[in-house]
Amino acid sequence: MPEFSRRRFLTIFAAAGTLATVPFTLKAQQPIRTWKGVAMGAAASISLSHPNADNILSRATRELERLENIFSLYREHSTLAQLNRDGVIDAPPFEFLECLGLCGIINRASGGLFDPTVQSLWRLYAQSHSQGRPPENESIRETLLRTGWDKVAINQGRVSFKRPNMAMTLNGIAQGYVADRIAKLLRHDGLNNVLINTGEFAALGGHPEGKDWPVSIDTGLGIRKEKVMLRDNALATSLPNGTFFDQAGLVGHIIDPRTGRPTQARTEAVSVTATSAAVADGLSTAICLMSKGEAAKFLTQFPSAQMA
């Protein structure tokens, strides 16, 4: 879930070049314009067709920057970094509270498998393996006492941890949430043919030519899944073996909050579609810890979601 460990190499076939103009059939009124950059630690892009595309993209990228200053683990003054440092934050932004509310929904629906408070465990494994050894069992047990979504207190005026030395990561949901926020911004501006990629995909309408947006997922492991067609829909992918703590590539970065130990990957990639990129993101993260049967039952709680 932490930023540099997330996870995938995603290729879209509807965009090319930083603010590049891509010609297509005469049915479209305007050429597709694409911004490319980095957001939330992942390659990002926004593709759209509009006569005022450059100004719209500029506004969208400013919003990306604002949201990153809320959700980034590694920006010193981000809302999340302040919470992790101080254990409490007063008057957090609306977006932070909204995202935490969704975390609570997915945490409960998954029986606790989706748990952003595993960040303290992630730090333990990263530090231990950087010294060439796994963490001690006692350290794992002690750190587990500082995890659990029930130890996060949330209200409109304050977010706080109920125990000292806790930490949270939102990297299993924030990329999707940011995509949703950008989609909402552009929808408010009247756009209806946009593809947003913040590490997860959100399609606002379809391709300007009238077809769906084609999205392809490359796991980075020599396995490319077939293209997924998106229209007013979102796609998120988690790679259980996308990053490893150890040099040998045996200890994956997805930690089971029940045991405090990295999970054994059951699949190379988990892809989920849903009407919300944040929901798809959180579900794909949780499913990394489930069997196929458990995943199928879990998804019935989210009617718009399905495996891709």
142-163 residue pLDDT tens: 999 999 999 999 988 899 999 9
What's the average model confidence in pLDDT over 113-122? 96
Q: So what's the pLDDT on residue 6?
A: 43
pLDDT at residue 132 greater than cutoff 50 = yes
Contact present, 231 and 245 (Cβ < 8 Å): no
> Looking at the chain, which runs of residues are DSSP E strands?
9-12, 20-22, 32-39, 42-48, 88-90, 152-155, 158-161, 193-197, 201-205, 213-218, 224-230, 233-238, 255-256, 261-262, 270-274, 306-307
174-207 pLDDT per residue, tens? 999 999 999 999 999 999 999 999 999 999 999 9
Confidence of residue 262 (pLDDT cuts 50, 70, 90): confident
**Quick one: pLDDT at residue 4?**
38
Q: Which residue has the higher pLDDT, 17 or 187?
A: 187
* Residues contacting residue 263 through CB under 8 Å, at least 6 positions apart: 240, 252, 254, 255, 256, 288, 289
Average pLDDT over the chain reads 88
Q: Read off the tokens for 280.
A: 């798809």
Q: Which of 25-29, 84-88, 146-150 has the lowest mean pLDDT?
A: 25-29
pLDDT score at 99: 98
Q: Quote the CA–CA distance of 179 and 299 in Å, as a whole number.
A: 21
First to last CA, the chain: 20
Q: What is the pLDDT of residue 16?
A: 34
Can you tell me the distance from the alpha carbon of 5 to that of 116, in angstroms, rounded to the nearest whole number? Answer: 14
Looking at residues 7-26, what average pLDDT do you find? 39
The residue-averaged pLDDT of 1-11 equals 42
Count of alpha carbons within 13 angstroms of residue 197, beta-carbon side? 28
Residue 109 banded pLDDT, cuts 50, 70, 90: very high
Question: Per-residue DSSP letters for 11-43?
Answer: EESS--STTEEE---TT-SS-EEEEEEEETTEE
- Residue 222: per-residue pLDDT: 56
Q: Is the pLDDT of residue 12 over 80?
A: no
Which residues does 66 contact at the CB level (< 8 Å), separation at least 6?
Answer: none
**159 three-class SS:** strand
Q: Of 181, 275, 199, which is closest to residue 236 (Cα–Cα)?
A: 199
6 DSSP assignment: -
**Which domains, from first to last, does the chain contain?**
3-307 (3.10.520.10)
Confidence of residue 28 (pLDDT cuts 50, 70, 90): very low
